[in-house]
């Protein structure tokens, strides 16, 4: 598979179940290692990155996972799940701003900001999916993979 994606563009990959759409998404995030080929982001082959360099790329490429039931930690509150992003990338939100930023994200995805202290099992699948979207938006990434 080969494609170019430029700022402001949307790309959809379609195909039968099992044809590799999710695998392509994971390769773009470097969550799975390619057995061959390359994945370029801003001229850099991200398949060769690790550590800080990979973290910097992932700051700009975020993923909303397909299954909202398995992608949210049931032992963490919604606020902690979304806010965890800021623990990994503290430059985006200083500690004192994190709660407010999480509440703003909940509002952006159409959920009550007061849900911040609740747990994933207290919500429907659609609401859980919106928590995943909020988490994906938290870093204001250049690319969102859904």
Backbone angles phi, psi at 39, to 5 degrees: -130, 115
CB 145 within 8 A of CB 25: yes
Q: For 32-90, what is each residue's pLDDT tens digit?
A: 988 899 999 999 999 999 899 999 999 999 999 888 888 899 999 999 999 999 999 98
pLDDT at 67: 87
CB 82 within 8 A of CB 139: no
CB 67 within 8 A of CB 108: no
Q: Which residues pair with 144 in a beta bridge?
A: 62
> What is the pLDDT averaged over residues 4-16?
92
pTM: 0.87
pLDDT of 134 above 90: yes
For residue 40, give the H/E element and its range: strand 40-41
Q: For 76-110, what is each residue's pLDDT tens digit?
A: 999 999 999 999 998 888 888 999 999 999 999 99
> What is the pLDDT averaged over residues 115-119?
97
Q: What is the dihedral of CA 54, 55, 60, 61, to 10 degrees?
A: 60
Q: For 120-129, what is each residue's pLDDT tens digit?
A: 999 999 999 9
pLDDT at 94: 84
pLDDT at 40: 92
pLDDT at 128: 95
How far apart, in whole angstroms, are the C-alpha atoms of residue 85 and residue 145? Answer: 16
pLDDT at 18: 93
pLDDT of 139 above 90: yes
Using only C-alpha atoms, what is the Rg of the chain?
Answer: 16
pLDDT at 93: 87
CB 22 within 8 A of CB 52: no
CB atoms within 10 A of CB 80: 15
Of 5, 89, 12, nearest to 42 by C-alpha is 5
């Amino acid at each position: 598979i080969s494609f170019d994606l430029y700022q402001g563009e949307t790309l959809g990959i379609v195909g039968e179940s099992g044809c590799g759409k999710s695998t392509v998404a994971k390769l773009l995030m470097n969550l799975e290692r390619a057995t061959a080929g390359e994945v370029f982001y801003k001229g850099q082959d991200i398949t060769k990155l690790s550590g800080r360099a990979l973290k910097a790329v992932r700051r700009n490429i975020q993923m909303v996972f397909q299954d909202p039931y398995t992608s949210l930690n049931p032992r963490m509150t919604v606020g902690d799940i979304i806010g965890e992003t800021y623990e990994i990338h503290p430059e985006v939100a200083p500690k004192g701003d994190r709660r407010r930023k999480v509440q703003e994200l909940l509002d952006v995805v159409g959920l009550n900001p007061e849900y911040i202290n609740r747990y994933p099992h207290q919500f429907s699948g659609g609401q859980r999916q919106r928590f995943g979207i909020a988490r994906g938006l938290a870093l204001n990434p250049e690319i969102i993979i859904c």
